[in-house]
Amino acid sequence: MIFILLCHRNFRRQISPLPPKIILMSPPFALFTIAVVLGAFLLPVDSFSTSSPISIVSRPKSALTRCKSTRGSPSIDNSDETPKHNKKKGDSVRNATGIRPSIHPTTINCIAEALLLRAKGGKRGDDTVIDIDIGKKDVQPLQIAMNAGTIAFDAIKQRNNAAAMDETTDIFNPGEAQTISGRVVGVVTRMRDLEQTLIEKVNEANWVTKYGEEESFGVLKGECRFAKTGEESGNTAEEVEKELSEMLKLNPLLRMNRAECLLALFIASVEQPTLEKIGQTVSGGSMIDFVDGDRIEVLGVA
């Protein structure tokens, strides 16, 4: 800035005695022009305002100009004058529209994990054992409900940890977390009854057996045959259960399809009637929009 003012002063001293062409060719005028151009390009972007004309005077003070001139060591004010905007976590599009992400994927994953744990006899990856099979007579239903709640809690905690590391991931609010936990506990504590209903629904749809689409519902052909004819199918109940456990451990798609159908049956037969009776709703609603039309028709849910 001092350089620009000095050049401007020299220019004013020489402008009167010289013709216009000489002025344009004079070194002071050339230096003044270069200094103004360079000064414009060196101005920070945020010094330009859409509501006021561009001005060199409006340039914010740098750290050096804020330096206090004292005989001791100079102290520099490094405080940033630019306002800082706190970044909002979560999907910006969803934040703008107010639409929350679906809680169905997390719920389905929890139910699929419960199916896998049951197939493994309750053994988890950390060598702990969680009783998750409601069919066991020596396990209390309350204990199974608590274990199912642990699966949901771990999934919610994992989602919140991911949100802390990734700004595009939303955390679950208390209502969503409560809905996820309630559905996981509700499905797991009714799992054997819901599975029996699922097999009955599949057997009633002749086209499923005709085209061999049992696995798209998460069930096996042996289960369906045994449900129709019992041991006349050539298998005992223990053999059918063993085959199912092996397939649930080996086939993640089978687990996922079964978990989706079990959740759909739970929402349609338990959650929706209960909420309608008490006049309440849950976070995310009770719409069954996570299975395709063919399975909705077979299951008789909406």
pLDDT tens-place string over residues 167-224: 767 889 999 999 999 999 999 999 999 999 999 999 999 999 999 999 999 999 999 9
Report the C-alpha gap between 289 and 273 in whole angstroms.
17
Burial environment of residue 210 by CB neighbours within 10 A (0 to 12, 13 to 18, 19 or more): exposed
| pLDDT one-digit tens code per residue, 36-54 | 333 443 344 343 333 333 3
Phi, psi torsion values for 244, nearest 5 degrees: -65, -45
For the chain, the average pLDDT equals 77
Please report the pLDDT score of residue 232 as a whole number: 74
* Banded pLDDT at 259 (limits 50, 70, 90): very high
The torsion angles phi and psi of 171, rounded to 5 degrees, stand at -85, 155
- 286 or 166, which is more confident? 286
The one-character DSSP state at 82 is S
The better pLDDT of the pair 115, 43 is held by 115
**Does the pLDDT of residue 149 top 70, yes or no?**
yes
Q: Is the pLDDT of residue 260 over 80?
A: yes
Tell me the residue type at 271.
E
If pLDDT is split at 50, 70 and 90, which confidence band does 15 have?
A: very low
Q: Please report which confidence band the pLDDT of residue 5 belongs to, taking 50, 70 and 90 as the band edges.
A: very low
Full-model pTM: 0.68
> How many C-beta neighbours within 10 Å does residue 134 have?
17
Q: What pLDDT does 97 receive?
A: 57
Residues 6+ apart with CB under 8 A from 30: none
